[in-house]
Structure 1
Amino acid sequence: MRLLVLGSGAGGGVPQWNCRCPNCTRAREERDLPPSRKSFRHTQASIAIAERGERWLLVNASPDLCSQFADRAELAPPEGSLRGSPLAAVALTDGQIDHTTGLLFLREGGELTLVCTDPVWKSLGSTFPIVSILGHFLPVRRLAYPAELASLIVEALPLPAAPAPYDPPSNESGHVVALRITGKKSGRRVVYAPGLPGVSREFADFVAGCDALFVDGTFWSEEELAPMNPERQRSILRSHLPVSGPGGTLAWLSGLPIREKFYIHINNTNPILDPGSSPAKQVREAGVQIAYDGMLLRLYPSPS
């Protein structure tokens, strides 16, 4: 199984267009550097997964999709054809703008298979009508979780999070999910949770035994939220656990017996984006890695 990190930043990426925080300032200073030396630049979070010899499953479609695809040779159209898609399907963890807007840039394809929950499917056909728009360009086929795509099995765990801001209030389950992707060829399992409002027993059971875990790294501490208005602060706190502190995810991850652990969906304000910072050092010392754009993870089959 191969896993590509296409983007590792939270909404807006780094640099965010209207921000002069230290991370965004450093990212702008990197504009003329080669990609391998751009430590502070992060596009919006998305990953792609494939078993050997098969097309890719894209997990979330960010607004940066076109540049992310252009930067990865693995996501070029198949060799021997003038046009073609490297994708088998797109799986969504929610219906938020930064995870779905990229779907619009897939309109040139022949068909789009979308895997999502009922609430997200309804949202994308009404209040944020991306699917309705795409229907004018290509057929859109929807699969529910759990879904089987060639050798990949994709399961979802509903998380206690609110609908997208443009959707009406709802107690329906499935507005936000964590995904578990299992490769039948490799026998490997990946969990992806870019939005994590809490670590429940159900979530702990869901990640148990996985080979790689990608967890919400949006913000380091609540202090980062101080410049925001109170309603925005409340919204973020309802949707994302901090990394640090007694109730943060780092304390939990440090004791988790999973070999490959990563933070992803990292906000531009988060100090762990600076490799030389004390928070970044604390993350590394806890045995957790900080995902970056272009990272390739290979998960080999277990020896027989």
Structure 2
Amino acid sequence: MVTKHMHNNKNTSLLNISSCFLLLTLCFFQSSLNAKTHEGVSLLVLGIAQDAGYPQINCYKPHCMPGWKNPQKRRLATSLGIIDHSNKQKFLFEATPDIKEQMYQLHRYAPDDKYQLGGIMLTHGHMGHYTGLMHLGREATASQGVPVFAMPRMMQYLSSNGPWSQLVKLKNISLKPLKDGKVMLLNERLKLTPLKVPHRDEYTETVGYKLEGPNKSLLFIPDIDKWQKWRLDISELVKEVDYAFLDATFFSDDELPNRDMSEVPHPFVVESMQLFDKLPQKHKKKIIFIHFNHSNPLLIDGSAAQQQVKKAGFQYAVEGMQLRL
């Protein structure tokens, strides 16, 4: 009996040692995984809707009602957050009317007390892309010298027209000039290239951006009139990058029956899918449609439009999507 008891104790000790070793091993791998999550550069999708968000003001039609009835289904104006974990910096594509909520979401992943706001990159002067700058002034954050990257006409517009000019005068923002096709170093790990695109340039020019990280690159073109009007070949640009966030304002030409669609030109998603149809699948899957008008069925979870896009080999953006650069 004594021998059996001692034998059982020995087995129990071996089991305890094995369990401790397994637990330590799991903890090591978990900590390694957590460390990797907080290294490098990551992208966070902060908004996917057109300038006015979803649902849109005064829209009480069936396609908007889900957003009014359920706050979980509401979507913010298009914006991307870039987080450089190594340099403890974060950047924002677009200053949207929803910047308050979007800055909070970015803060959750990159807290303000640990990550500096390295800058905001503006594409153009339509309401969903720059008006969030108002939150940087006296009435809200009273920021100091937030870098705002902009093209010449955009800089002139902000400098010469109130209330934006007050932000410049009081040095709430610091305008950083960009040139079409010229690389701007955000830091030693991030290279930004503005690419001028044809669009309704009533007040400013319009650009998309190419951003190169330490490992991967992205293309961000939320607004353009038509791909065929651009001097550059969008298909070739898609081949050069790892992710391509592209204008998908309207799914098709029948979304706004009471509007002249030529007054708000954008490439329809069905047109874009046809244009990119001959690309190999390895390039198709890079394309992530974004900037959905409130009428766009890609906003509706489980819609036939979403299934059509996925079946064709493309992606559509969702808020909270994360990618590595």
Tell me how far 1:86 sits from its aligned partner.
3.4
Does residue 1:191 correspond to 2:219, yes or no?
A: yes
Question: In the alignment, what sits opposite 1:221?
Answer: 252
Q: Tell me by how many angstroms 1:268 deviates.
A: 0.6
In structure 2, the residue matched to 1:141 is 175
1:192-207 aligned within 5 A: 192-199=220-227, 200=230, 202-204=232-234, 205-207=236-238
Contact 1:250-1:286 at 8 Å conserved across structures: yes
Helix, strand or coil at the partner of 1:223: coil
2:20 aligned residue: none
Which segments of 5 or more consecutive residues in structure 1 lack a partner in the other structure? 32-37, 80-84, 168-173, 300-304
Q: Using structure 1 for the length normalisation, give the TM-score.
A: 0.81
Give the AA of the match of 2:112: P
The structure with the largest helix share of the pair is: 2
User: 1:88-103 to 2 correspondence within 5 Å?
Assistant: 88-103=118-133
Cα distance in 2, alignment partners of residues 222 and 181 from structure 1: 31
* 1:121-171 deviation digits (Å, cap 9, x = unpaired): 12222356524444325252323143111121111111122313xx3xxxx
Partner in structure 2 of residue 276 of structure 1: 302
Q: Distance in 1 between matches of 2:132 and 2:233?
A: 28
- Structure 1 position 29, deviation (Å): 2.0
- After superposition, the C-alpha distances for 1:217-257 in whole angstroms (9 at most, x for unaligned) are 101111112123x4xx33212xx11111xxx1122234434
What is the letter of the counterpart of residue 163 of structure 1?
Answer: D
The answer on 1:110 being equivalent to 2:110 is no
CA distance in 2, matches of 1:154, 1:117: 13
Partner of 1:241 in structure 2?
Answer: 267
Cα 1:131–1:268 shift into 2, 3 Å: same
Against the structure 1 CA distance between its residues 255 and 48, is the aligned structure 2 distance closer, same or farther, given a 3 Å change threshold? Answer: farther
Cα distance, 1:9–1:283 mapped onto 2, change above 3 Å: same
Corresponding letter in the other structure for 2:195:
L
What one-letter code is carried by the residue in structure 2 that aligns with 1:253?
A: F
Q: Is the CA contact (8 Å cut-off) linking 1:14 and 1:23 kept in structure 2? A: no
Aligned to 1:302: none
Which residue number corresponds to residue 156 of structure 1?
Answer: 194
RMSD between superposed Cα atoms in Å: 2.1
Q: Quick one: which of 106, 109, 115 aligns to 1:74?
A: 109
Output the TM-score relative to the length of structure 2: 0.76
Count, aligned residues = 269
Measured after TM superposition, the shift of residue 98 of structure 1 is 0.9
| Higher RCO (CA < 8 A, seq sep 6+) | 1
Separation in 1 of the partners of 2:192 and 2:103?
22
Query: Cα deviations across residues 175-199 of structure 1 (Å, max 9, x unaligned)?
Result: 111110001x22x110000002222
The CA deviation at 1:201 is: 5.9
Structure with the greater alpha carbon radius of gyration = 2
Are 2:312 and 1:289 aligned?
Answer: no
1:253 aligns with 2:293: no
* Partner secondary structure for residue 159 of structure 2: coil
Which 5+ residue runs of structure 2 have no aligned equivalent? 1-40
- The runs of at least 4 consecutive aligned structure 1 residues that moved more than 6 Å come to none
In 2: Cα distance, 1:131 partner to 1:5 partner = 29
Contact (CA 8 Å) 2:136, 2:173: kept in 1 or not?
Answer: no
SS at match of 2:232: helix
Which residue does the alignment assign to 1:25? 65
